[in-house]
Structure 1
Amino acid sequence: MKPLAPRLHAAPRWLFWLLLLSGALLLGLCILFPVLGVLEWVAAVPSGLAILTAARDRSIRLRRMYGYGFCFFGCFYLVNFHWFLYMYPLTFAGLSDDASAVVVIVAWFGLSALQTVGAAALFPLFAVAVRGKFLSGKPILQPLLFAALWAVREWIQASIGWAGVPWARLPLGQVGLRLTLQSAAFLGSYFVSFLLIAVSMLIADLLLHPDRARLCGILAGSLLVGNLALGGLRLLTRPAEGNAVQVAAIQGNMSSLEKWSGNSVSAERYETLTRKAAAEGATLIVWPETALTVTIDRSAAARDRLSRLARETGATLLVGVFTSGTGTESNRQYNSVVAFLPDGSMCETVYSKQKPVPFGEFVPYRELVMLLVPPLAAIGMLENDLLVGDRSEVFDLGVGRVGSLICFDSIYESTALDSVRRGAQLLAVSTNDSWFQDSRGVWMHNAQSSLRAIETGRYVVRAGNTGVSSVIAPTGQVTAELDPLLTGYVPGTVRLCEERTLYTRIGNLFAYLCAALCAAAVLANPAEMVVRRLRAGRKSE
């Protein structure tokens, strides 16, 4: 086989761009459609050909490498955030068609650009390391370094606050396979991302330089087979599970306009569905995020209604509501989940959302946004920014210890890890995805719960206002679900789990190690140059 490296150097520029962007497009499509999960293991090969060629070419400046990265990730994120288009029109927020179009376009391109600006730095950082003295002589390590940089990028994205939205993680494309995802129970989802990119980059290097074919092929095959072995090991050695609990996730299918027009219709619909689920034997019933748009501690009528419902059905209810702030923040609210017990009492434990949705529940840089794009500040339906919860809470209920997550909480692994470390035997996700309609966005959000189930080794009961509602096993398998835009409930049997996965014990240790290795690789050459200059200065003296 003839090496591709010389031909790529001599190829027209359009071919380089075609390779770079086709890989970004394929990766995005694999995340959107997990049925393409097998393809995801080679989806980055076209981009890998372009990236490795450019990074090794010292005539290409780092500024241009950043430009390549910006175009790659711009394409990648525009594909993954395309579901913003389904939000149009925003009539529930009182916006005109023109204002709705502005908000949707700004949100789609703006969020994509926000994620791309930082992610693009991966390309010049990779080039600096590849051209350094250490890695330039060890080309077999270069594909692995790019994979490590990718894993670190995903980890940073989940750690920097509202500006980092870890929505488009590569492991989401593997939820349809499950076996390839089980290693996340050992080292987390960032390990799976590393493997996906490493395999593609090794294959790309193999095509560029066939003289390294055997070594690249063996290494890529070993990573893939090793991951499958880890997956098989976990599935075959699953720890014994505890008591069974009959659960139900209620899907009221209330549009955003209906939800905010008043609570009487919502309450009646959720009460009817809850009674039906309880009649089928459900003892733990989960309602969606802010299923009732009331401030529960200020509404005796709502408390009485929920208390009576829990008492008459004999079920434990987890209900999404608002709760009041305290002290100087008493005029503001938390997005919370509260529990009503079978005896009619309201549990003292209250969980408040830790990861609010930007522009939906708070407006960053509100004054600037109001100046530049006023409609963007109006879509949240709230007079004030919501308060942010400061810790995970576990409901110690008669049916078991339940860790609650609300909407965006479920796309951050830290919230699920905290819940399990606090003793949660089961995870319950309450969410409102009505903005996404029936786009791929609702399925991507549901897939995040599959990741959390595998990472923590816990069943997940997920109640979505308009769907997807589901029951997910610790292996990531969706055992029951209700499609979006349907009214009903998802019954299921879950088991309480006590054993903790290795990942819940060591956390993101793999990401930390990748970060340390990447820092060493990137800084090795600049550090050596500084040392040389210092030595030259001393000799001249």
Structure 2
Amino acid sequence: LLSIGLFSFSLLKAEPKTDENSLEFAVIQPNIDPFAEKFSGLSPADQLDLILRLADSVATPATKYFIAPETSIIYPIWVHEPEKHPAYEPIRQFLAKHPGASLLIGAYTYSKVAEPTGISLQDTDGSWYNIHNSALIYLPNGKVEIYHKSKLLIGPETIPWAGLLKYLQVFSINLGGIVGSYTTQPEAEVFACPENDARLAPIICYESVFGEYTGEFVRKNANLLAIITNDGWWGTSEGYLQHLRFSQLRAIETGKWVVRSANTGVSCIISPSGKIIKQTQYGVRTAFTYQVPLSETKTYYSQTGDYIGRLAALLTFLIGFYVLVQQVIANKKV
């Protein structure tokens, strides 16, 4: 046991090696207050302009990805026509200044639906639509790909059995965003850019808590975890630090590097050993760049998920049941 502990400690202390297959990432931390500024103090255009100016301030000719936080674009984007949204042109002009670079950014999105569900909303023209908390990647060729958050936070983002308990949506907890029941997508999705070898797992906020779900991105050949989040509503409590620790666990479990962009912090780069290589201070408006390796490693856990944990739980139950039965038998013999 001692040798195992010393070996594990040596892995955590070891400095990661940057291989040749690495790309420069720019991580943006706009530090926009989710209560005082995001939905009242700063306009959507001003917020996007702030993010792009921060990105531009640290960009180099080698920068290939700009990573901005969850729900950075607060005016919802219709998924079938993202190029018609007011944010598209400023982003297109920004990327034109940085040839070959892509922007990964969080946004609220709407999608039209032919058949409404219990959580669909009706537009003024009588049509129906769903709300999503999404990650969008704006590619160098002008295309936009969209992934919808699929592990929702109970309270602010979803109400259990929303179709039956739709009236409970009025009690949703407002933590600085659009309140109600969001819609997910069926499975994890990886963002690949034709300009380079990166295949990003766009993990949105609360999704980083789920190790097995993160493994789904790896099974779809993701070679880097890009976590975007808005932890500002935690304030200065320990919540934002606990959330950060989950990102470190995901790096260890999957053997992948993590690029984490948090609205108010902590934004950071995490190595596959779980070590934070570079990070920002919480509550500071800043940005930085880092050359991040792309890892093709696929750990046993990322391939199998929580089967070991489930098996251990089953064995624990069976052993406990056996001990209980033996105790009952022994008592009867007395």
The TM-score, its normalising length taken from structure 1, stands at 0.52
* Candidates 128, 140, 144, aligned match of 1:342: 140
- Aligned match of 1:264: 45
- Aligned match of 1:57: none
**Distance (Å, rounded) in 2 between the aligned partners of 1:506 and 1:378:** 36
List aligned pairs for 1:417-456, cutoff 5 A: 417-456=215-254
Q: What amino acid is aligned across from residue 246 of structure 2 in structure 1?
A: Q
- Aligned match of 2:158: 362
- Aligned match of 1:244: 22
Contact 1:241 1:497 in 2 (8 A): no
CA displacement, residues 138-182 of structure 1 (integer Å, 9 cap, x when unaligned): xxxxxxxxxxxxxxxxxxxxxxxxxxxxxxxxxxxxxxxxxxxxx
CA gap of 1:260–1:346, structure 2 versus 1, over 3 A, is farther
**Distance (Å, rounded) in 1 between the aligned partners of 2:176 and 2:285:** 24
**Distance (Å, rounded) in 2 between the aligned partners of 1:509 and 1:230:** 22
Identity fraction in percent: 27
Q: What amino acid is aligned across from residue 108 of structure 2 in structure 1?
A: F
2:251 pairs with 1:466: no
Q: What amino acid is aligned across from residue 312 of structure 1 in structure 2?
A: K
**Distance (Å, rounded) in 2 between the aligned partners of 1:247 and 1:239:** 17
Alpha-carbon distance, 1:322 to partner: 1.9
**Distance (Å, rounded) in 2 between the aligned partners of 1:429 and 1:379:** 19
Larger proportion of strand = 2
Contact 2:11 2:273 in 1 (8 A): no
Contact 1:242 1:497 in 2 (8 A): no
CA gap of 1:497–1:379, structure 2 versus 1, over 3 A, is closer
**Distance (Å, rounded) in 1 between the aligned partners of 2:280 and 2:21:** 25
CA gap of 1:505–1:370, structure 2 versus 1, over 3 A, is closer
Unaligned runs of 5+ in 2: 121-127
2:301 pairs with 1:494: no
Partner SS for 1:283? strand
Deviates more, 1:283-292 or 1:255-264: 255-264
Contact 2:228 2:260 in 1 (8 A): yes
Contact 2:16 2:271 in 1 (8 A): no
- Aligned match of 2:91: 306
**Distance (Å, rounded) in 2 between the aligned partners of 1:379 and 1:230:** 38
Alpha-carbon distance, 1:387 to partner: 1.1
**Distance (Å, rounded) in 2 between the aligned partners of 1:479 and 1:240:** 12
Partner SS for 1:323? strand
**Distance (Å, rounded) in 1 between the aligned partners of 2:49 and 2:93:** 13
Unaligned runs of 5+ in 1: 1-221, 533-541
2:38 pairs with 1:253: no
CA gap of 1:384–1:234, structure 2 versus 1, over 3 A, is closer
**Distance (Å, rounded) in 1 between the aligned partners of 2:174 and 2:285:** 28
Alpha-carbon distance, 1:332 to partner: 2.1
Alpha-carbon distance, 1:303 to partner: 1.9
Q: What amino acid is aligned across from residue 396 of structure 1 in structure 2?
A: A
Contact 2:159 2:180 in 1 (8 A): no
Partner SS for 2:225? strand
- Aligned match of 1:414: 212
Higher Cα radius of gyration: 1
**Distance (Å, rounded) in 1 between the aligned partners of 2:265 and 2:106:** 15
* Candidates 290, 303, 313, aligned match of 1:505: 303
Alpha-carbon distance, 1:369 to partner: 11
Contact 2:104 2:137 in 1 (8 A): yes
CA displacement, residues 226-282 of structure 1 (integer Å, 9 cap, x when unaligned): 232245468779898451110011011111131123302201101101212324742
Alpha-carbon distance, 1:467 to partner: 0.8
CA gap of 1:384–1:236, structure 2 versus 1, over 3 A, is closer
CA displacement, residues 432-466 of structure 1 (integer Å, 9 cap, x when unaligned): 01101233221221121111111111111100011
List aligned pairs for 1:498-537, cutoff 5 A: 498-527=296-325
CA gap of 1:233–1:255, structure 2 versus 1, over 3 A, is closer
Contact 2:173 2:179 in 1 (8 A): no
Alpha-carbon distance, 1:410 to partner: 0.7
List aligned pairs for 1:356-395, cutoff 5 A: 356-364=152-160, 377-379=173-175, 381-382=177-178, 384-395=180-191
**Number of residue-to-residue matches in the alignment:** 310
**Distance (Å, rounded) in 1 between the aligned partners of 2:256 and 2:8:** 18
Q: What amino acid is aligned across from residue 263 of structure 1 in structure 2?
A: P
Partner SS for 1:256? coil
The TM-score, its normalising length taken from structure 2, stands at 0.82
Partner SS for 2:86? helix
**Distance (Å, rounded) in 2 between the aligned partners of 1:361 and 1:411:** 15
Q: What amino acid is aligned across from residue 276 of structure 2 in structure 1?
A: V
Contact 2:172 2:179 in 1 (8 A): no
**Distance (Å, rounded) in 1 between the aligned partners of 2:12 and 2:205:** 28
**Distance (Å, rounded) in 1 between the aligned partners of 2:214 and 2:175:** 28
Contact 2:70 2:135 in 1 (8 A): yes
Partner SS for 2:129? coil
- Aligned match of 2:66: 285
Partner SS for 1:301? coil
**Distance (Å, rounded) in 1 between the aligned partners of 2:20 and 2:234:** 36
CA displacement, residues 277-309 of structure 1 (integer Å, 9 cap, x when unaligned): 324742211010010112223653222222222
Q: What amino acid is aligned across from residue 455 of structure 1 in structure 2?
A: E
Partner SS for 1:296? strand
Contact 2:70 2:263 in 1 (8 A): yes
